Amino acid sequence: MCLARTGSSVDCTAKHKIELGRSLERKPMRRVEALHSPFMRSDNAELEHNHAAAARPSEPGHGSIQMTALVRVDTQPGRERPLVIAWLSGILALCWACLVFQALHISSAEPASLAHTSRPLSTPPYRAYELVLVLAMWGAMLSAMVLPAATPAILLFARINRLAQSVRHPNLATLLFVAGYLAVWSGFGALATLAQWALHDGGALDTSMAVINSSACGLILVAAGLYQWTPAKHACLQVCRNPLGFVLTGWRSGLLGALRMGLGHGLYCCGSCWLLMLLLFAAGVTNFAALLGLAGLLLAEKLLPGGTVVACVGGLGLVAWGTLLLFP
């Protein structure tokens, strides 16, 4: 407490700022205490919004981060940015190379008379190595579609992690964050592989690995379109669109913490667009136009200012398309 005295030139506000600054240098603060201080508020409107969302108690090792890192996060240039972008570009290039190889392998295995038709291809059940190839194909497809939209969140984590100095090797922590994110989609890809296995052995897929039954395709489209309007979709999409709020409220220190944060962010993003990924069964798993269209929709939802509106409009289009298939 600062008591005003006659003849004193000490300004109480300045004194409080000095004391607060010293406490920040000595030890990490709870984000709630620092974020609500009138002297540590950021000028950035988005930071203010997410700081307010972060105002809830945190347990030790969860959600605590040095406030000096958060204050500097929007003012210091990120030295890790080129390296992280190079990593992600390499992963994306590898994924697209795998997809091209798979598409060429599938097309070369098809008889010329059946290529690009909607008739079922009479093939034996999947063998073990073929299941592994299908699993790799789903993993590559999903990674190629979701990584571009997740790049801002990955860059933000890498930047805050370096400034917070919570681990000795921040680049390794960033890799673990990406690994956790992709692990979620790998699990989804495993489930999709099982579904494709069952449909393939049941003769329900055509040569492009799309479901033959038009009514089933229509139901997939309508379900995906309706989900675009649900509260669950919008809640998950909001987390994906505002990764700073997720990082502040879910911060975990250490390498294991980085992996867990990647898993958490991956679950939110999977919750946002898992039904959209099932559209590949309607359009064809090897349909590159469908892959690019879905990747573009995911980017628009997560990165454009009106991403929520884009999701809703896209949902209307999917419902209309599915209705035409159900009632031709």
Average pLDDT (278-302) is 90
pLDDT for 290 equals 87
Distance, in Å, from the CA atom of 126 to the CA atom of 196, rounded to the nearest integer, reads: 10
Confidence label for 120 from pLDDT (cuts 50, 70 and 90): low
The pLDDT confidence band at residue 60, using thresholds 50, 70 and 90, is: very low
State the pLDDT confidence band at 226, using cuts at 50, 70 and 90: very high
Quickly state the pLDDT bin for 43 (edges 50, 70, 90).
Answer: very low
| CA angle in degrees (0–180, nearest 5) for 213-214-220 | 100
Alpha-helix residue ranges (DSSP H) falling in 165-253: 170-201, 214-227, 231-241, 243-249
The pLDDT, as a whole number, for residue 269 is: 95
**Predicted confidence band of residue 221 (pLDDT cuts 50, 70, 90):** very high
First and final CA of the chain: distance in angstroms? 76
State how far the Cα of 134 lies from the Cα of 201, in Å rounded to an integer: 14
Strands (E), 90-223: none
pLDDT-derived band at 122 (thresholds 50, 70, 90) equals: low
Residue, of 153 and 31, whose pLDDT is higher: 153
The region of weakest confidence among 3-17, 80-94, 286-300 is 3-17
What pLDDT was estimated at residue 29? 37
What average pLDDT does the segment 64-93 reach? 68
Spatial CA neighbour of 153 closest among 245, 65, 61: 245
What is the tens place of the pLDDT at every residue in 297-315?
999 999 999 899 999 999 9
Average pLDDT for 320-328: 93
Q: Which of 249, 252, 229 is nearest to 239 (CA)?
A: 249
Q: Judge whether residue 80 has pLDDT over 80.
A: no
Residue 129's pLDDT band, with cuts at 50, 70 and 90, is confident
pTM of the model: 0.73
Give dist(CA 239, CA 259) in Å, integer.
18
Q: How much is the average pLDDT of 119-143?
A: 80
Q: Which two tokens stand for residue 312?
A: 């809703």
CB 92 within 8 A of CB 291: no
pLDDT at 309: 94
In this prediction, residue 74 has a pLDDT band, given cuts at 50, 70 and 90, of very low
